[in-house]
């Protein structure tokens, strides 16, 4: 199972764009990259998933370079309600998915 | 609302007591999971059930047992609670195991063992 490394915490201000980078050096050919968001006292929630290049949905964008050894979650114009923990996962398929410690994002007014 | 429902939301146990955490999903998902989350840490897999009638160990199964009662329900039992089992427990389900299928999590059970 591929291990991921991401910053422990990040601070931002309302209205700014936030980019959270995750490294996954030993990602396998068939692995996907998935990001989850977790608010206090709630379970994690799926945000976005991608394999290569760029994926965008109504919540975020995901940038994956050609070598796929890292990925960047981009949150446009964050608000206070985006304060949460963000988990980067490499999903191989099967039943055992590793959730690392995640990145704690604090959005300030 | 469709999703994963966990009960209870909070529980305090004395060391040595037993209890069962309940989980039910109404999305007709095949696989179900129990995770624990300790302060400042990610989620660690305790047990999972690939399908009705099957269960398997995850990373940290010691001290726990599980039952996949039917396709909807997956319970976690602590036979003799220990302070080290103080944690937040999350149940999750997933339609399939291919990469495209994301997890749906419940809101958690906060357990304190004193």
User: How far apart, in whole angstroms, are the C-alpha atoms of residue A76 and residue A39?
Assistant: 18
Closest alpha carbon within chain A to B50: A95
Phi, psi dihedral angles at A65 (to 5 degrees): -70, 170
User: How far apart, in whole angstroms, are the C-alpha atoms of residue B91 and residue B36?
Assistant: 9
Would you state the structure tokens that stand for residue B36, as one six-digit string?
């624990």
| For residue A103, pLDDT beyond 90 | yes
| For residue A54, pLDDT beyond 70 | yes
Taking Cα atoms as reference points, which of A35, A10, A31, A28 lies closest to residue A89? A35
pLDDT-derived band of residue A41, with 50, 70 and 90 as boundaries?
confident
User: How far apart, in whole angstroms, are the C-alpha atoms of residue B81 and residue B19?
Assistant: 8
Of B43, B92, B105, which to mutate for an interface test with A (greatest number of A Cβ within 10 Å)? B43
pLDDT-derived band of residue B1, with 50, 70 and 90 as boundaries?
low
Cβ distance of B42 and A94 shorter than 8 Å? no
Quick one: B40 exposed, middle or buried, by C-beta within 10 A (0-12, 13-18, 19+)?
A: exposed
Taking residues A17-35, report their average pLDDT. 91
Taking Cα atoms as reference points, which of A18, A17, A13, A20 lies closest to residue A35? A20
User: How far apart, in whole angstroms, are the C-alpha atoms of residue A17 and residue B43?
Assistant: 27
- pLDDT, tens digit, for every residue of B93-114? 988 766 567 889 999 999 999 9
Closest alpha carbon within chain A to B93: A95
Q: What is the pLDDT of residue A66?
A: 94
User: Is the distance from CB of A82 to CB of A107 less than 8 angstroms?
Assistant: yes
| For residue A1, pLDDT beyond 70 | no
Q: Find where tokens 């964008």 sit.
A: A61
Taking residues A43-71, report their average pLDDT. 93
Q: Using CB atoms, pick whichever of B45, B98, B103 lies closest to residue A93.
A: B98
Question: Comparing A95 with B63, which gets the higher pLDDT?
Answer: B63
User: Is the distance from CB of B106 to CB of B27 less than 8 angstroms?
Assistant: no
Taking residues A40-60, report their average pLDDT. 91
Q: What is the pLDDT of residue A35?
A: 94
Q: What is the mean pLDDT of chain B?
A: 92
| For residue B42, pLDDT beyond 80 | yes
pLDDT-derived band of residue B33, with 50, 70 and 90 as boundaries?
very high
Q: What is the pLDDT of residue B47?
A: 95
Contacts of A101 in chain B (CB under 8 A): 40-42
Closest alpha carbon within chain B to A44: B105
Of B99, B104, B108, which to mutate for an interface test with A (greatest number of A Cβ within 10 Å)? B99
Taking residues A39-66, report their average pLDDT. 92
Of B29, B35, B102, B108, which to mutate for an interface test with A (greatest number of A Cβ within 10 Å)? B102
Q: What is the pLDDT of residue B98?
A: 63
Q: What is the pLDDT of residue A74?
A: 97
Would you state the structure tokens that stand for residue B83, as one six-digit string?
């302070």
User: Is the distance from CB of A97 to CB of A89 less than 8 angstroms?
Assistant: yes
What is the full DSSP assignment across A23-90?
A: E-TT--TT-EEEEEEE-TTS--EEEEEESSEEEE-SS-EEEE-TT-SEEEEEESS--GGG-EEEEEEE
Q: Is A99 helix (H, G, I), strand (E, B) or coil?
A: coil
Number of H helices, E strands in chain B: 0, 11
Q: Using CB atoms, pick whichever of A30, A49, A99 lies closest to residue B42.
A: A99
Q: What is the pLDDT of residue A100?
A: 80
Measured over the CA atoms of residue B96, residue B61, residue A41 and residue A57, the dihedral's sign is negative
Would you state the structure tokens that stand for residue B93, as one six-digit string?
């389900």
- pLDDT, tens digit, for every residue of A70-102? 999 999 999 999 999 999 988 876 777 778 889
């Amino acid at each position: 199972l591929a291990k991921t490394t991401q910053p422990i915490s990040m601070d931002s201000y309302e209205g700014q764009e936030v980019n959270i980078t995750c490294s996954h050096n030993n990602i396998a050919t068939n692995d996907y990259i998935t990001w989850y968001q977790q608010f206090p006292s709630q379970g994690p929630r799926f945000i976005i998933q991608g394999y290569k290049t760029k994926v965008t949905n109504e919540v975020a964008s995901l940038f994956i370079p050609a070598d796929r050894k890292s990925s960047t979650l981009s949150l446009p114009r964050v608000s206070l309600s985006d304060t949460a923990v963000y988990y980067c996962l490499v999903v191989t398929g099967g039943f055992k998915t590793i959730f690392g410690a995640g990145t704690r994002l604090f959005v300030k007014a | 609302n469709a999703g994963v429902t966990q009960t209870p939301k909070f529980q305090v146990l004395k060391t040595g007591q037993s209890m069962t955490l309940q989980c039910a999903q109404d999305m007709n998902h095949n696989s179900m999971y129990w995770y624990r989350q300790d302060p400042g840490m990610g989620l660690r897999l305790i047990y999972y059930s690939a399908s009705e009638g099957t269960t398997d160990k995850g990373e940290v199964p010691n001290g726990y047992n599980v039952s996949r009662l039917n396709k909807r329900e997956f319970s976690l039992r602590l036979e003799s609670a220990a302070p080290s089992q103080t944690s937040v427990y999350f149940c999750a389900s997933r339609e399939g195991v291919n990469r495209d299928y994301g997890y749906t999590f419940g809101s958690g059970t906060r357990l304190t063992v004193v």
